[in-house]
Structure 1
Amino acid sequence: MSTEEQLEREGAVATRLDDAWVTIVWNDPVNLMSYVTHVFQTYFALTRDQAEVKMREVHEQGRAVMSTGGRERMEVDVQAMHGYGLWATLQRSGE
């Protein structure tokens, strides 16, 4: 493998790792399901049906992955969820 091919391959791996983050919204005993659905529609631009599916996932499974991408973008999404009063974290995808 040439040096150029190796650098290209390493760059692809670095790009994948940089994009390998998720925003997770966790269940809490405070927020109403209708409010969580509203937040998901408003912030993540989901349809009502999509937002309700995600809200049910949070409610029934304790959490739902709401977005994926680079770490900085996921930090923005987590802070936005905190701004809405929801409990959210970010982590590397696949952890």
Structure 2
Amino acid sequence: MSTSGSSLRADRGRRHHYASECPTLLTVAEGVEYVFRIPGEETIRFVDALNGSGIRYAMVRHEQAASFMAEIYGQLTGRAGMCSAARGSGAILAGHGVRVAYSE
């Protein structure tokens, strides 16, 4: 097996993405129009990546509300619903709506 330098070299003409931009790229590919989210410092880079992508976001006051709104949006439109939550307890609270979405 050859480990020549050319195969290990980075593509210099290619733009590298931040980790926060990867979910946005996947979200655009899935055709998501809205992200239901709660504002917070943990998701600020994700919000920055959403700006300019054409995806709109609706701010809510509770992570559980965001997950239920995404679930209902998906049921009513037949499109993918997406919510964004803060880490830790925010992710746990958003999990309730995700569980309901998978159970129906």
TM range (shorter): under 0.3
TM-score of the two chains, using structure 1 as the length reference: 0.28
More helix by share: 1
Mark the structure with the bigger radius of gyration: 2
More strand by share: 1
